[in-house]
Structure 1
Amino acid sequence: MTDSTKPTVLIVGGGIGGVALGMLLHKAGVPFEIYERATTVKPLGTAMNFNATTAVMMKQCGVYDEFMAVAKPFSAVQVGNTHRTIDYKIDFSEQEELFGAKGFIISRPDIYDLLVRQVPKEHFHLGKKVISSEQTNEGVILRFSDGTTAEGHILVGADGAYSSIRQHMYDQLKKEGRLPATDGEPLPFSSLCLVGQTKSLDPSVFPSLALDESQVMTVLIKDTPYACSIFTTKKNTVAWAVGEILDENRSKEGEKNEEWGPGAAEAMCQLSRDFPVISGGEKPLTMGDLIDWTDKDYITKVMLEEKVFETWYDGRIVLLGDACHKINPAGGAGATNAVHDAVTIANWIHALPPNPTKQEIESYFEEYKKERLPKAKEAYDSSRMFKSISSKSYLGWIAAVCFKHMPSWMNRTLLSSMMAYRPTVSFLPDAEDKGTVKPAHQHSLETRRILKERQEAATTAAVKA
């Protein structure tokens, strides 16, 4: 495609997935714009797990070394108790041998900053709240609350669990009788979480910060529905979370829950102050210490939803990340799956024919969904398994027994089911993958064949002319 025949992509949502897609489209030479409703981007959130499944893409984009400079490797998830001892570990130590790269813990602000710096500033627009979206046979139109509009050829909804783009698209599909009943149901809530990240600490205060590997720990608080998690980072901060698994009645209350409102985060801070923390030192620390070491403006309380939608696209509109699959963070798969979506969408957009029609765009988005929906469902199931550990339910007990006594061959099988799929950017030079487990089939690499055949046909036609 020439510059004049490439489709212009409008991305709504400037989170991890939206920015990753912007970075990839920029490298593909595809025109794009990112629209984010927030007027400023706050460094909110805790830590994220980026494993071997995203290493290939980062290496191809030339950001892997910079990523490793601000991320800390980890080899296990440790599960402890209120006596500040470890009951068992979930082993990830073979990740590099099996899949060619280590797993890393990185604070959300750090990975976001790294990705957003890869996107030219003139393509990133803040304070753009979408009030309506429309598609025609010729293109898409966005209207914003500030009275401005934007036009393009493709619209990507990367605007989170309560995506306005998904809602607009679903409203139209429902009018036409084309929306599956399950997609029209409200998002189910499964848990609530208080999250934050401390200032940089001296390792003498929190000794496990001095270790070469990130300490990823979950402490189950006895006789309560709560669990505390910590993640030590490269910058000597402690990212932390206090989670509560909701019962069936409370999970239905959603945003109407009476705990929401001013002071909700503070109330949960007070409730969890005495919960024990494992710091690696002799001095017993609590969640209260971590809370006191955290800027209060960056402590947030969030309700966590879980759902994989069946409808991911319609015509020129396609969804990405939480907008089409909201995965519980217990398995650390939310951000990685948003990046996987971005790679797959970018591969298919790059392979579109010149001046693509609405039907051609939709057919390529069908191929995107064909690859990503099964993987999103696998991640959803895996995250629910990890979540059960904190639930103190019968299923949680079974999961704990399995992890405690899991033989090494079974652990490798489990890891392979989670990390054999390592998406490659089809239009960038391949990165070396030294993993002993061969990468799983990636349907969007078919775009290389499509482009080669199109180029050969064009050359033949030119010779005949």
Structure 2
Amino acid sequence: MASTTTTTTTEKLKVVIVGAGLGGLMLGTLLERCNIPYVIVEKATVVKPLGSALAVGSTLIPLFEQLGVAEDLYRVGKPWTHYYTYSESKELILAADFSLAQGLTGYKQYAIGRPALYDLLFNQIPSHKIHFGKRVTSIYDNGDGVEVKTTDGSNYEGNILVGADGAYSVVRQQLYEALLKEGKLPASDQEELPFSCVCLVGQTRPLDPEEFPVLKEPVAQFKSTLGNDNAYSWTTFTTSYNSICWMVMLHLEKVANRSTYNDNRNRTSENLEWESHATAAKAMCDETRHFPLQFGDGTLTMGDMYDRTDQDLISKVMLEEKVFETWYSGRTVLLGDACHKLHPSGGRGVVTSMHDAIALANLLYAHPPNPTSSDIHTLFSEYRSERYSVVQATFKNSQMMRKATDKDLFAACTRFLLKHMPTWLWSKFIERTVVDRPQVGFLEQVPVKGTVVPSVSPSAQKARAVYEQKEK
């Protein structure tokens, strides 16, 4: 069993993390384990269990084993093996078998509600190190440190600022404004976030398995439906705690952004992220209540899911897709959705955010005593170098999976190819999605399982060398 013993670091370093999403919480958890001082500030005043379900498997479980919380993950997760796609008339279009991943990696795949995973990580952070209701108003980098000011007049100082505050990151916005004035911001980073899907998400209250027998199935049931004569697709996922996570996607005719998207129910930037806005969400719920579900006695619809979901926990969001070029400058660095936003069809958004946290934590642990601005620049450069190409490949894979659920001819061809793909080729595809299984170098290593050898993580190697030197 992996050790969760922390390793003391005496270097003078403090990290200010803006954003208490899953990526920010994971980074905080890792810094907590290696005793690097940090603080997390979050604009939301309270934690709301928003979101649907996530797939967690071999790309993250070794890390959870290192942290000693894998059993907690298993308790709130439910094993899953297949993802089924149907037509609205209940014809099976595609059955994607992901059970191959267990043989390749030694780990099962688990379906877990986003709120449950959030709670697991939130519980790893001491309460005095996370502050809610702290909306950032200004960031000042004086070359020797950073200062963050919030609307309530609070100031937070540190050596490094991490922007983990989502797709519409305030940290990124202020960083980019400064770089634009200096003529250093690439043209692509000046463009707005594009999206081609609008999404409604939620999770029911715990249900009675007698009323919903699908909950009795030993593995999570992932079932997606493509509308016959409409621009929608919708998906349901069962959980270990007898709830059903659900998601409804509206596929737009053309790519949009928040300036061009003409939806009078969605005019503010606030609801472009994971936030609940009753009017916008209710309108989409009303439009889609009659959509049939792929389980039960044939009479169940999405309306049955909406009625069993707390209304303030239903969210309407835009599914942006973009990888930014600029990830850092000065003493500020970006993480997760703040620097790369992936479509959820690939199931990799949270994975990439947490892998960012692993790489950054490894490099912070291995940093030299009293790091200079030059040291920090090198650290950030190594972080981006390790993560950028991996994120780009994952981004393309997520785009392909998204296109498989689109409503055009290309999507139909993609589904046909996936359906008739030989097993050996599908296995190769799965291999590509599980090769990145990084660990942190400053905790006891988890033995490699399965037949696919994990890719090499330079940051983990660097942190491991420092860890072993300190242990001598």
2:239–2:245: 8 Å Cα contact kept in structure 1?
A: yes
Q: Which amino acid aligns with 1:314?
A: S
Equivalent residue in structure 2 for 1:444, among 432, 452, 459? 459
TM-score (norm 1): 0.94
Residue 3 (structure 1) shift: 5.5
Unpaired runs of 5+ in structure 1?
460-465
CA contact (8 A) 1:191 1:251 kept: no
Bigger shift: residues 171-180 or 346-355: 171-180
The reply on whether 1:348 has 2:353 as its aligned counterpart is: no
8 A contact 2:197–2:318 mirrored in 1: yes
* In structure 2, C-alpha distance between the alignment counterparts of 1:354 and 1:250, rounded to whole Å: 47
Map Cα deviations across residues 168-225 of structure 1 (whole Å, 9 max, x no partner). Answer: 1111111111111100111112210111111111222222111111111110010111
Match of 1:310 in 2: 325
Q: Which amino acid aligns with 1:338?
A: S
1:142 paired residue among 129, 140, 148: 148
Check whether the contact 1:137–1:357 (CA below 8 A) recurs between aligned residues: no
User: Runs of 4 or more off by more than 4 Å in structure 1?
Assistant: 1-4, 249-256, 452-456
State the 1:282 CA deviation: 2.6
Distance 1:249 1:59 in 2: 40
Which of 246, 252, 274 is the matching residue for 2:290? 274
Q: How does 1:219-258 map to 2 (within 5 A)?
A: 219-248=225-254, 250=256, 253-254=259-260, 257-258=263-264
Q: CA RMSD in A?
A: 1.8
Is 1:335 the counterpart of 2:339 in the alignment?
A: no
Tell whether the 8 Å contact from 1:89 to 1:403 is kept in structure 2 after alignment. Answer: no
Partner of 2:208: 202
Among 287, 300, 310, the alignment partner of 2:315 is 300
Aligned counterpart, 2:272? none
Query: 1:138 and 1:175 mapped to 2: Cα distance?
Result: 21
1:431 is aligned to 2:437: no
Identify the residue that residue 88 of structure 2 maps to in structure 1: 82
Cα 1:453–1:27 change in 2 (3 A) is closer
Match of 1:462 in 2: none
Structure 2 match to 1:165: 171
SS in 2 for 1:53: coil
1:174 and 2:190 matched: no
* CA separation of 1:249 and 1:451: change in aligned 2, threshold 3 A: closer
- 1:90 to partner: Cα distance: 1.1
Shift of residue 394, structure 1, vs aligned partner:
2.0
* Maintained 8 Å contact 2:29/2:124: yes
| CA deviation map 1:301-327 (0-9, x unaligned) | 111211000111112111000000010
Partners of 2:453 and 2:387 in 1: CA distance: 19
1:42 to 28, 32, 48: 48
- What displacement does 1:37 show? 0.6
Judge conservation of contact 1:190–1:246 (CA < 8 Å) in 2: yes
Aligned partner of 1:72 in structure 2 is 78
Matched with 1:371 is: 386
Q: Structure 1 residue 98 and structure 2 residue 104: aligned?
A: yes
Q: In structure 2, give the amino acid aligned to 1:271.
A: E
Q: State the percentage of identical aligned residues.
A: 42
Query: Does the 8 Å contact 2:196/2:255 carry over to 1?
Result: no
Alignment match, 2:338: 323
How far apart, CA to CA, are the structure 2 residues paired with 1:344 and 1:250? 32
Q: Could you tell me which residue of structure 2 aligns to residue 393 of structure 1?
A: 408
1:16 aligns with 2:16: no
Corresponding residue for residue 463 of structure 1: none
In structure 2, the gaps of 5 or more residues are 1-6, 268-277
Query: CA–CA distance in 2 between the matches of 1:105 and 1:431?
Result: 22
Per-residue deviation, residues 239-284 of structure 1 (Å, max 9, x unmatched): 00110111226557556532316622111111111111012x3342
In structure 2, what is the Cα distance between the partners aligned to 1:253 and 1:181?
18
Distance 1:455 1:271 in 2: 61
Query: What residue identity is the alignment partner of 2:148?
Result: L
User: What corresponds to 1:265 in structure 2?
Assistant: 281
In structure 2, do the counterparts of structure 1 residues 136 and 214 end up closer, same or farther at CA, with 3 Å as the change threshold? Answer: same
Structure 1 residues 244, 321: closer, same or farther in 2, change over 3 A? Answer: same
Structure-2 separation of matches of 1:358 and 1:453: 26
Superposition deviation, residue 329 in structure 1: 0.8
CA contact (8 A) 1:189 1:254 kept: no
How many residues are treated as equivalent by the alignment?
456
Preserved contact between residue 343 and residue 402 of structure 2 (Cα < 8 Å): yes
Instruction: Give the residue type in structure 1 aligned to 2:366.
Output: A
Whether the 8 Å contact between 1:128 and 1:145 is mirrored in structure 2 is yes
The structure-2 alpha-carbon separation of the partners of 1:249 and 1:223, relative to structure 1 and needing over 3 Å to count, comes to: same
In 1, Cα distance between equivalents of 2:31 and 2:301: 45
Name the aligned partner's letter for residue 266 of structure 1: K
Alignment of 1:416-427 (within 5 A): 416-427=431-442
SS at match of 1:151: strand
Tell me, in whole angstroms, the C-alpha distance in 2 between the residues paired with 1:133 and 1:359.
20
Task: Output one character per residue of 1:415-443: Cα deviation in whole Å (capped at 9) or x when no partner.
Answer: 11111110111111111221111111212
What CA distance in whole angstroms lies between the structure 2 residues aligned with 1:129 and 1:223?
Answer: 43
1:366 maps to a residue whose letter is: S
Is 1:384–2:399 an aligned residue pair? yes
CA distance in 2, matches of 1:453, 1:11: 28
Give how far 1:4 is off: 5.1
Distance in 2 (alpha carbons) for counterparts of 1:45 and 1:201: 18
